[in-house]
Amino acid sequence: MSSVLLPTLLLVIAATLLTLGMLAAGMLFGPRRTSAVKEMPYESGMDPIHDARRRFDVRFHLVAIAFLVFDVELLFLYPWAVANRTWLAWLNQANHTEHLTAMAEATQAVHVNPTLVFAEIMVFIGILAVGYAYAWRKGIFRW
């Protein structure tokens, strides 16, 4: 267990204890009176017909799929977003008038060419945008 994450674990445990303690306090001190009406699902005073778990609109499913697609694609961008500033700083350490040499040095130092990676990210977003336009055209976002 790394010492960095230990306080996080402690907080999760403390929060769980607090929550359970609150529930327990409610159970200890609250009254207990039950009645047939109280046990019924609340439907504004009507007697409920059918179970509540019925078929529902397929659009909720489409939203979930669209979310998965876009959120996972976003997660791919995070590592680059974190690393990019460091790469650019390396680039800038060299004098910017000797731009090409600096670029070559930076590329050697980190085995990465920031401009090339940037271009790749833009291509990635371009493909994402095409997919987005397709999804829109297909009517996934129509509610």
Q: Which of residues 72-91 bind another protein (CB under 8 A)?
A: 74-75, 77-78, 81-89, 91
- 46, 50, 52, 55 alpha-carbon torsion, rounded to 10°: -130
22 binds another protein (CB under 8 A): yes
Largest CA distance in the chain: 84
Tell me phi and psi for residue 33, to 5 degrees: -135, 125
* For another protein, the closer CB: 105 or 132: 132
100 binds another protein (CB under 8 A): no
CB of residue 14 vs another protein: minimum separation in angstroms?
A: 5
Residue 106: other Cβ atoms inside 10 A:
22
104 binds another protein (CB under 8 A): no
HSE-CB at 116 with a 13 A cutoff on CA atoms is: 7
C-beta of residue 125 within 8 angstroms of C-beta of residue 100: no
19 binds another protein (CB under 8 A): yes
Amino acid letter, 126: G
CB of residue 47 vs another protein: minimum separation in angstroms?
A: 13
* For another protein, the closer CB: 84 or 112: 84
Residue 10, H or E segment: helix 6-29
109 binds another protein (CB under 8 A): no
User: Which residues, numbered 30-69, are part of the site for another protein (CB under 8 A)?
Assistant: 30-34, 38-44, 48, 51-53, 56, 60, 63-64, 66-67
Q: Which of 1, 4, 58, 100 binds another protein (CB under 8 A)?
A: 4
